Structure 1
Amino acid sequence: MPNTTASTTPCSRKLADFPRLLRLIGLVLSLIAWPVHAQTPARIAYGEIQRENGDYVINADIDLNLNPRVEDAIRHGIAVYFLLDARIESPRWYWLDETVVSETLNYRVTYHALTRSFRLAIGSFHQSFDSLEAAVRTMTRVRRWRVAGVDELEPGQSYKVALRFRLDPDLLPRPFKVSALGSRDWSIDTDWMNWTFLSAGVSAE
């Protein structure tokens, strides 16, 4: 009797992925069909920069209410990414301000159906929560975020600090990325919060 060998062709793999693709498209269509709800724009309610030992760190509080479409996407297992951007600029009277520091803090919010928990990743740090609300509260309370070393800034000089929080649609699955284009529900982007501070510089030894 001749030997038979089982093999998986690219076509069969595509057919196996087809039901998953249909479910994803169905979810996207259902979210698009939701009525648009008025929502309070996200904003940075508080921000400060402080020297801590040999670093400058930022503390900030962000007002953020996720709308039903974004919440539902997360609860269905879609990973949603957010960014916190910080800039430190040196004013120049003769030209545009010079950007001395440009840093971004990356967030990822996901739901794990097996453990029925929400997972928040902040950079390489991960933490699980029983509710989406708890994960969002932690994400929007920024504490001791290192943005620069003391030696990166000139002692006793005035600098401008700018801070912004936003949803990153570029990392959404392709069907969601398409639906996010021009959608107010997926456009979560605070205005830049700006303030000035006087650098402490390096302490003399």
Structure 2
Amino acid sequence: MMASTSPGYASSAERLLRRLILALLLALGPIVPAVANDSRIVSAEIVPGEAGGYVINADVAFELNDRLQDALLHGVTLYFVAEAIVERPRWYWLNEVVVDRRLEYGVSYHAITRSYRLSVGSFHQSVDSLDAAVRTMQRIRNWQVAEAGDIRPGISHEVALRFRLDMSQLPK
């Protein structure tokens, strides 16, 4: 019996395995929630706060797809994270990270009261609709990210803001 090692001819088992992998990738592709990559920062600013330090005001644009809305209605809590990083550029090494802050949001649905519960850090509130909860998350206001001594005057700083669905807190 002769064995062929030509790359153009794959055995039937290899072709079947490739087809199964391709089918699996195509089937699992839509499972990744749309908000994971589709959120975008519409506007953002870092300004001195009233009580000292610096605060971020930002508007985020995102929508929950049908799968995420369905998951909410079936009792799954969705967690979102706003992350702010302030760096001071250095010519001799990597940028120095001055501030690294996270603001966590949680949205859940309560079927008995037919209301949504929005958690922002340790603050919780009930809202009547999912649209109201999403609008609240889309507007980040007066989020204190740095103390007055963290940011040096006269030196440029780079600020990065990211908003995403926290996939690590989704149930398996």
Give 1:131's aligned residue. Answer: 129
Deviation, 1:145, is 0.1
Give 2:160's aligned residue. Answer: 162
Q: Secondary structure at the match of 1:142?
A: strand
Query: In structure 2, how many angstroms separate the alpha carbons of the residues matched to 1:106 and 1:47?
Result: 18
| Correspondence 1:63 to 2:61 | yes
Give 1:148's aligned residue. Answer: 146
Task: Pick the aligned partner of 1:114 from 95, 112, 115.
Answer: 112
Give 2:47's aligned residue. Answer: 50
Q: Which structure would you say has the larger RCO, counting Cα contacts within 8 Å and 6 or more residues apart?
A: 2
Measured on the aligned residues, the alpha-carbon RMSD in Å equals: 2.2
| Correspondence 1:41 to 2:38 | yes
Deviation, 1:124, is 0.6
Q: Which runs of 5+ in 2 are unaligned?
A: 1-27
TM-score normalised over the length of structure 2:
0.77
Q: Which runs of 5+ in 1 are unaligned?
A: 1-31, 175-205
Q: How does 1:14-25 map to 2 (within 5 A)?
A: none
Query: In structure 2, how many angstroms separate the alpha carbons of the residues matched to 1:168 and 1:56?
Result: 25
Query: In structure 1, how many angstroms separate the alpha carbons of the residues matched to 2:135 and 2:73?
Result: 17
Task: Pick the aligned partner of 2:78 from 77, 80, 83.
Answer: 80
Query: In structure 1, how many angstroms separate the alpha carbons of the residues matched to 2:34 and 2:139?
Result: 24
Question: Deviation per CA, 1:135-167, whole angstroms, max 9, x where unpaired?
Answer: 000011000000011011222221000000111
**CA 1:148–1:37 in structure 2 vs 1: closer, same or farther (change >3 Å)?**
closer
Structure 1: 4+ residue segments shifted above 6 A: 34-40
Q: Secondary structure at the match of 1:73?
A: helix
Q: What letter is aligned with 1:83?
A: V
TM-score normalised over the length of structure 1:
0.65
Q: What letter is aligned with 2:116?
A: F
Question: Deviation per CA, 1:46-74, whole angstroms, max 9, x where unpaired?
Answer: 11000013110000000011110011101
**Percent same amino acid at aligned positions?**
54
Q: Secondary structure at the match of 1:74?
A: helix
Q: What letter is aligned with 1:47?
A: A
**CA 1:93–1:37 in structure 2 vs 1: closer, same or farther (change >3 Å)?**
closer
**CA 1:77–1:49 in structure 2 vs 1: closer, same or farther (change >3 Å)?**
same
Deviation, 1:37, is 10
